[in-house]
Amino acid sequence: MNHADIDKLVKTWIVDAAKSPANPRVQQVVVRVLGDLCKAIEDLDVTPNEFWSGVSYLSAAGASSELGLLAAGLGLEHFLDLRADEAEAKAGLAGATPRTIEGPLYVAGAPESVGFARLDDGSESERAETLLMQGTVFDEDGKPLAGAKVEVWHANLLGNYSFFDRTQSDFNLRRTIITDDQGRYQFRSIIPVGYGCPPDGTTQQLLDLLGRHGQRPAHIHFFISADGQRKLTTQINIDGDKYLWDDFAFATREGLVPAIERISDPQKLDAARLQQPYA
């Protein structure tokens, strides 16, 4: 069937069959996606077996709550970022810390504190490197923003996230820090290890068929929000990670790989710790 006939046919199923759509936007998107799918089936001569394997695959991915992970691994979530960048550039709003994907592992409601938080529960202290990070939230005029909300979350030494990993304590490696009167936040945690897709999961199953790995470099997630401001969703990556520029979710970006200062000299460590409130 040619593409024009497919478009006509899809219109009879979705548009002509409807009295008046409760949601015209949903109708518009469904008509387009369904038409594109039918054209792909036609052009690629997709067999019924192949079609129903696809349906089974998506059912299994949904049943195991991996559709968000799949969207990351297929690059779709990163594509949304590229579009948001374009919209921002058009509006003359470029120049801030770059955005990058949220991923599927955020949990709302992490414990909140002002200025400083320790993220880790101490259970991995013996094997982990201690991480100290500080920053300032600025508004678009470059003025420090007091009272901004900085939500931080990251994986543990096994690349696992609390809540999804039931062996971790509640909200381990997840905190909300409110910036101080000078717009600053500081936290102490552990340097995380990169995430890998569940090896027996549906996302990795497809990645295997595509000849791709399912690894992310070590990273830390942020939401930055404040009244009257646009919200920033971003991450930083840990420099030196093998997967730094080979992220299965395509989230590493220029400007999101901060220099890490490794402190082993005990005197310098004391000096770093003496900065309030690390002391």
Name the residues that contact ligand MBD, by CB under 6 A: 69, 72, 101, 103-105, 195, 216, 249, 251
Nearer to Fe ion (CB atom), residue 103 or residue 201: 103
Q: Work out how close the CB of 96 gets to Fe ion at its nearest, in angstroms, rounded to a whole number.
A: 21
Nearer to ligand MBD (CB atom), residue 187 or residue 248: 248
Nearer to Fe ion (CB atom), residue 103 or residue 214: 103
Beta strands at 184-190 and 130-136: parallel, antiparallel or unpaired: antiparallel
DSSP string, 114-139: ESEEE---STTTTTSPEEEEEEE-B-
Q: Work out how close the CB of 17 gets to ligand MBD at its nearest, in angstroms, rounded to a whole number.
A: 38
Rounded CA separation 74/103 (Å) = 12
Q: What kind and span of H or E run contains 150?
A: strand 149-154
Q: State the residue number with the nearest CB to Fe ion.
A: 103
Q: Work out how close the CB of 107 gets to ligand MBD at its nearest, in angstroms, rounded to a whole number.
A: 12
Q: Work out how close the CB of 135 gets to ligand MBD at its nearest, in angstroms, rounded to a whole number.
A: 19
Residues 96-115 that bind Fe ion (CB under 5 A): 103
Nearer to ligand MBD (CB atom), residue 35 or residue 103: 103
- Contact indicator for 106, 154 with CB cutoff of 8 Å: no
101 binds, options Fe ion, ligand MBD, none, Cβ within 5 to 8 A by partner type: ligand MBD
72 binds, options ligand MBD, Fe ion, none, Cβ within 5 to 8 A by partner type: ligand MBD
> Binders of Fe ion: how many residues, by CB under 5 A?
1
Rounded CA separation 255/96 (Å) = 10
Q: Work out how close the CB of 214 gets to ligand MBD at its nearest, in angstroms, rounded to a whole number.
A: 8
Which amino acid is it at 163? F
In sign, the C-alpha dihedral spanning 277, 122, 130, 113 is negative
Contacts of 145 (CB under 8 A, 6+ apart): 137, 138, 139, 179, 183, 226, 229
Nearer to Fe ion (CB atom), residue 106 or residue 138: 106
Which amino acid is it at 216? R
Nearer to Fe ion (CB atom), residue 14 or residue 100: 100
| 194 scored as a contact of Fe ion (CB under 5 A) | no
Q: Work out how close the CB of 196 gets to ligand MBD at its nearest, in angstroms, rounded to a whole number.
A: 9
Contacts of 170 (CB under 8 A, 6+ apart): 162, 163
238 binds, options ligand MBD, Fe ion, none, Cβ within 5 to 8 A by partner type: none
Q: Work out how close the CB of 66 gets to ligand MBD at its nearest, in angstroms, rounded to a whole number.
A: 10
Q: In what order do the strands lie in the sheet containing 219-225?
A: 112-114, 174-178, 149-154, 219-225, 232-237
**Residues in contact with Fe ion by the rule CB under 5 A:** 103
